[in-house]
Amino acid sequence: MNAPLGALDRPNSYIGRSVSRPNAKRLLAGKGRYVTDLVLPRMVHAAFLRSPYAHARIVSVDAEAARTMPGVRLIATGGDLARICQPWTGTLDHFKGMKSAPQLPLPVGKATWAGQAVVAIVADTRAQAEDAAEAVMVEFEELPPVIDIDAAREPGADRVAEELGDNICFHAKLDTGGIDGLFATAAHVVEEEFLFGRHTAVTLEPRAILADYEASEERLTVHHATQTPFQFQDLYSRHFGIPEAQVRVVAPDIGGSFGMKLHVYHEDMAVVGLSILLGRPVKFVADRIESFVSDIHARDHRVRARMAIDAAGTIIGMDVDDVTAIGAFSTYPRTSAVEGNQVIRLMGAPYRFGNYRAELSVVFQNKVQTSQYRAVGHPIAAAVTERLVDMAAARAGLDPAVMRERNLIADDAYPCESPTGYRFEALSHQECLARLKAMMDYDGLRAEQAVLRAKGIHRGIGIASFVEISNPSPAFYGIGGARISAQDGAVVKVTPSGEVRCLISVTEQGQGTETIIGQIVADQLGVAREKVRVITGDTEVTPHGGATWACRGAGIGGETALRAARALKANVLKVAAAILQARTDELDLLDGWIVDAVGQQRLSLADVARIAYFRSDTLPPGTEAQLTVAHHFAPQGYPFAFTNGIQGCHVELDAETGFVKILKHWVVEDCGRIINPLLVDEQVRGGVVQGLGAAFFEECLYDAAGQLTNGSLADYLVPMACEMPDIEIDHVETPTLDTILGAKGCGEAGTAAASAAALNAVNDAMTPFGATIAQIPMTPARLLRALGRI
Amino acid sequence: MTITASVTLTINGEDVTREIEPRETLADFLRRDMQLTGTHTGCEMGVCGACLVLVDGKATHGCLVFAVQAEGSTVETIEGLSERGIIGDIQAAFHERNALQCGFCTPGMLVTAHSMLAPPGVPTREEIRDALSGNYCRCTGYEAIVDAIEAVARQRAGEEVAA
């Protein structure tokens, strides 16, 4: 860590170096400034009365008694906010036939999930607002809830939204042709029905927003715990009719996000509206119970899938049916169909076969919305594919690792295209598998497993390859009509003292965005890292950009910073050349000094800046001293920068209790050029832990009436330190040639295949019992049922 | 709910007296009344550990204690521990090892680490993981946190031996 520069290292060579995060010291001192912490003059607090029913008509709202309670400033219903906020609809144009009902901050007419905010109460303190909420009388008339995914699709089923005609949000099919014939004549066919529970992000800081509308200037400032401030600037502007330039969104320190904090939430839109109605700053911080019933959930898929192989164990085709339930609305603006779309398109992605058929049904029901959460769709595609590969290996009499060696796309076969339409530039599945086997001592573990089985100890080994989508181009949201930028922008400038500031549109949620941008700028410009200050998360300060999601920070944000820094360096050298009466191609910038061709220090960057800012009279006439550069970069070439990797999981199953101990987990992943291994490794580990959470613990449980029954952190299990293993990480680096930097994403990798590897490991452990499981989370009760013990 | 009660306690070495609502938790009191926002609330039911502070030297969930219950107590928060310099080596190890991402769980983690490392000896990784089981971290994967605490334990033990 913070390894000193070796004698052979060029000064300022920071790309690829493990350095710690400058901004982490502040967080370690308890001086983080989260939206949760912020206080503004005259600030008031919002609380919400929520629907106790999954589906109910709102007959009447009586807020008279509540209005007179201490501290109460405003009570607003759906109708009050509908007058100032344009409704939104969560569809994308390129998802043909997709539909969803329009949404408002608070519902008018009926509530469509248990926990939906129905009435907003604003008071001087949150406690007063909650007191008053208890005095608001809402008469609900219960309607039959739509819960079950099969019943929801029956003709004549009760509907979540009457006006939509049925409960189908989106339906898609992929078919390369001839699938029925292929499966009928295949040497072996394996099939399974998989169930993936709903789970949710559980960011440790819940959602938080502080909106401040100033009517005299028609200005809206929103401090918002979000990944995507520019997206919200655009949305607040358009839905509340405020000029975009008058809307400022600030995302300060964010206590975890994982994709959950980039969606439009009803309470957030309500808070902006409440601030407009009151002309005062209004704050809302979800408590944990509110988070469970109003943050997006994710997954909730039932996948019926089969795989055909020939007699030699070669995969020849897959046939997949995915039904996913998404709650009462499709989320805005990214929709709730992206996960299913990615499930059916990532299916089988690491493997070499050409025959594929898939059907996707995205179904409305009376639960909270599902949408994009870390590794969107990946864990489902990986678990289905990898479990079928293991089942096929068993049928063909092959070891799972050998089965993969035979079927993974060869490392020299790129570029190539998947049967689902994804184009891969260059991946490294074979190399990753070879590294994984060596790292985990695969053969040794198999030998140990055999010995221990004889002693009644049941260990399982699971491996799972994966492909990760990163760096989406405008070919995704842009084409779909969503105003979600695929480009990012940076302003890099030399200060009058010769230091450097980089204002960039990618955002920081703790993964180290600011650190890697600082490394890249310092490296490319030729200054010490300590001289570069990186500023993010404020629409009034940085250029417009997509910000941080889908692993864009390094690949797109990093490339933006690189190109901006190179442009600034060229400008610095032009000024230096004018001062030194030299040619720019004879000069370089190294460690904060202008050096000549033999490396002699000629002039400090601080002197260049001093002359440019204060003594431009001494420069030759016509010298352009442009020491501030703005640069935008949008990915071109491949529509996505796909990454890949493989994971291994080693578990021990107690067949008497159904408890599983995760002994060790391994990841080999290829995210292209690595900027900071220290940060990449821990981000991959964090991703693995979220994937293992889904595999063993995390599930939002609902009863038949659509009530969430485990919506607290005591009931909903997230992985704890004592349950998690040490996780060993290794890397293969296959840089993308679409950019100079060559970086791809790494944030989803851990989550993408951890649950798949765990599923295979547990099934492997159960082999002696002739038992299998195809549902996650693999709880002790489910495992005991699979084992026939209960 | 307008009835208030007086509470007097010591916070980070300072004597404090305030009129507060009896229903206010210690965590909310520290965050709102004292502006000590380093103490975080993640679950408000004593599960996640983000609100851990020292009450009379003992790691305590600020969300499970009413502020009025802390009458006469000595409370120390992340701000106090930082300024006193007593956890400097733990903070340095966390920084070096990148044992934090978003930082929201970190003050609670540091309080647990401080308590765990108070007795002499080097805990095993399993013991560290066990001691951390009341602190949820959603970002890191825990391993770096375990590494950092282990490194401090070894360092402190080494220094004691050397002395």
A644 forms beta bridges with A467, A670
Which is it for strands A137-142 and A56-62: parallel, antiparallel or unpaired?
Answer: antiparallel
A123 in Cβ contact with A51 (< 8 Å): no
pLDDT tens-digit profile of A611-631? 999 999 999 999 999 999 999
CA distance B160 to chain A (A): 25
* pLDDT for position B1: 53
CA distance B4 to chain A (A): 14
Long-range contacts of A313-316, Cβ-Cβ distance < 8 Å, separation of 24 or more: A313/A392, A313/A393, A313/A396, A313/A397, A313/A398, A313/A403, A313/A406, A313/A407, A314/A353, A314/A406, A314/A407, A315/A348, A315/A351, A315/A352, A315/A353, A315/A389, A315/A392, A315/A407, A316/A182, A316/A186, A316/A353, A316/A355
C-alpha separations of A437 from A403, A412, A516, B112 in Å: 13, 20, 31, 37
Count CB atoms within 10 A of the CB of residue B104: 31
CA distance B159 to chain A (A): 21
Binary contact (B48, A204; C-beta < 8 A): yes
pLDDT tens-digit profile of A344-362? 999 999 999 999 999 999 9
CA distance A773 to chain B (A): 26
pLDDT tens-digit profile of A83-108? 999 999 999 999 999 999 999 999 99
Binary contact (A32, B103; C-beta < 8 A): yes
Residue A9 has pLDDT above 80, yes or no: no
Q: Which of A73, A28, A13, A4 is closest to A510 using CA atoms?
A: A28
CATH number at A24-32+487-633? 3.30.365.10
Give mean pLDDT, residues A749-753. 97
Residue A426 has pLDDT above 70, yes or no: yes
**Lowest mean pLDDT, pick from A133-147, A247-261, A470-484:** A470-484
**Helices A229-240, A266-278: crossing angle, 10 deg rounding:** 60
Residue A41 has pLDDT above 80, yes or no: yes
Top-tier CATH class for A377-469+640-786 = alpha beta
Residue of chain B with shortest Cα separation from A204? B42
pLDDT tens-digit profile of A521-580? 999 999 999 999 999 999 999 999 999 888 889 999 999 999 999 999 999 999 999 999
| First CA to last CA distance, chain B | 57
Q: Which of A290, A748, A203 is closest to B105 using CA atoms?
A: A203
Which is it for strands B5-11 and B74-76: parallel, antiparallel or unpaired?
Answer: parallel
Q: How far apart are CA A63 and CA A467, in angstroms?
A: 53
Binary contact (B139, A131; C-beta < 8 A): no
Residues of chain A in contact with residue B112, where contact means CB-CB under 8 angstroms, are: none
Count CB atoms within 10 A of the CB of residue A166: 17
ipTM: 0.97
Q: What residue spans of A720-789 are helical by DSSP H?
A: 749-766, 780-786
Residue B160 has pLDDT above 70, yes or no: no
Give mean pLDDT, residues A9-18. 88
Mutate to test the interface with A, among B102, B125, B129, B145 (most CBs of A within 10 A): B102
- Six-digit token pair at A520? 């890249």
CA distance B101 to chain A (A): 4
Mutate to test the interface with B, among A27, A519, A716 (most CBs of B within 10 A): A27
Give mean pLDDT, residues B127-151. 97
Binary contact (A713, B91; C-beta < 8 A): no
Using CB atoms and an 8 Å cut-off, which of residues 5-64 of chain B contact chain A? 21, 23-24, 31, 36-45, 47-48, 50
Position B126 confidence tier, pLDDT thresholds 50, 70, 90: very high
* pLDDT for position A777: 98
Residue A4 has pLDDT above 70, yes or no: no
pLDDT tens-digit profile of A177-211? 999 999 999 999 999 999 999 999 999 999 999 99
Secondary structure class of A295 (helix, strand, coil): coil
Residues of chain A in contact with residue B43, where contact means CB-CB under 8 angstroms, are: 288, 712-714
Residue A1 has pLDDT above 80, yes or no: no
* pLDDT for position B163: 47
* pLDDT for position A533: 98
From the list A33, A256, A713, which residue is nearest B102 (CB)?
A256
CA distance B73 to chain A (A): 21
From the list B107, B125, B143, which residue is nearest A685 (CB)?
B143
A55 in Cβ contact with A366 (< 8 Å): yes
Which is it for strands A593-595 and A601-604: parallel, antiparallel or unpaired?
Answer: antiparallel
* pLDDT for position A11: 82
pLDDT tens-digit profile of A633-662? 999 989 999 999 999 999 999 999 999 999
Residues of chain A in contact with residue B142, where contact means CB-CB under 8 angstroms, are: 685, 689, 721, 724
- Six-digit token pair at A412? 């020299």
Residue A3 has pLDDT above 70, yes or no: no
Give mean pLDDT, residues A728-757. 96
Say which amino acid occupies A11: P
Position A476 confidence tier, pLDDT thresholds 50, 70, 90: confident
Across the beta sheet with A588-590, what order do the strands follow? A588-590, A593-595, A601-604
- Is any Cβ of chain A less than 8 angstroms from the Cβ of B143? yes
* Topology annotation, domain B5-77: Ubiquitin-like (UB roll) (3.10.20)
Binary contact (A288, B95; C-beta < 8 A): no
Helix (H) or strand (E) holding B88: helix B88-97
Residue of chain B with shortest Cα separation from A677? B98
**Lowest mean pLDDT, pick from A387-391, A473-477, A779-783, B86-90:** A473-477
Binary contact (A510, B45; C-beta < 8 A): no
- Six-digit token pair at A550? 């889908």
Give mean pLDDT, residues A21-39. 97
Secondary structure class of A635 (helix, strand, coil): coil
From the list A28, A203, A689, which residue is nearest B142 (CB)?
A689
Across the beta sheet with B74-76, what order do the strands follow? B14-20, B5-11, B74-76, B52-55, B58-61
Give mean pLDDT, residues B81-106. 98
Binary contact (A20, B96; C-beta < 8 A): yes
| Geometric angle at alpha carbon B139, from B120 and A472, rounded to 5° | 155
From the list A28, A202, A720, which residue is nearest B106 (CB)?
A28
Residue A404 has pLDDT above 50, yes or no: yes
Binary contact (A255, B103; C-beta < 8 A): yes
In CATH, B87-162 is 3.90.1150.10: no
Backbone angles phi, psi at A211, to 5 degrees: -105, 140
Q: How far apart are CA A231 and CA A262, in angstroms?
A: 8
Position B113 confidence tier, pLDDT thresholds 50, 70, 90: very high
- Is any Cβ of chain A less than 8 angstroms from the Cβ of B114? no
Q: How far apart are CA B12 and CA B17, in angstroms?
A: 13
Residues 6+ apart with CB under 8 A from A684: A667, A669, A727, A729, A746, A749, A750, B141
Binary contact (B45, A726; C-beta < 8 A): no
* pLDDT for position A2: 56
**Residue extents of the structural domains in chain B:** 5-77, 87-162
Binary contact (A682, B110; C-beta < 8 A): no
C-alpha separations of A380 from A15, A155, A386, A746, A761 in Å: 34, 28, 10, 18, 16
Residue A472 has pLDDT above 70, yes or no: yes
Say which amino acid occupies A746: C
Name the E strands within chain B. 5-11, 14-20, 52-55, 58-61, 74-76
pLDDT tens-digit profile of B53-70? 999 999 999 999 999 999
Per-residue buried b or exposed e for A670-705, using 16+ beta carbons within 10 Å of the residue's own CB:
bbbbbbbebbbbbbbbbbbbbbbbbbbbbbbebeee
Residue of chain B with shortest Cα separation from A689? B141
Residue for token digits 């009517």? A215
Binary contact (A686, B77; C-beta < 8 A): no
Query: What's domain A35-143+202-294's superfamily in CATH?
Result: Aldehyde oxidase/xanthine dehydrogenase, a/b hammerhead (3.90.1170.50)
Residues of chain A in contact with residue B106, where contact means CB-CB under 8 angstroms, are: 27-28, 30, 32
Residue A6 has pLDDT above 90, yes or no: no
Residue of chain B with shortest Cα separation from A19? B96
**Residue extents of the structural domains in chain A:** 24-32+487-633, 35-143+202-294, 377-469+640-786
How high is the mean pLDDT of chain A? 96
Q: Is the dihedral of CA A687, A427, A195, A763 positive or negative?
A: negative
Residue A7 has pLDDT above 50, yes or no: no
Write the DSSP string, A227-255.
S-HHHHHHHHHHHHT--GGGEEEE--B-S
Q: How far apart are CA B41 and CA B52, in angstroms?
A: 9
| Geometric angle at alpha carbon B27, from B26 and B32, rounded to 5° | 100
Per-residue buried b or exposed e for A15-43, using 16+ beta carbons within 10 Å of the residue's own CB:
bebbbbbbbbeebbbbbbebbbbbeeeee
Q: How far apart are CA B20 and CA B23, in angstroms?
A: 8
* pLDDT for position B105: 98
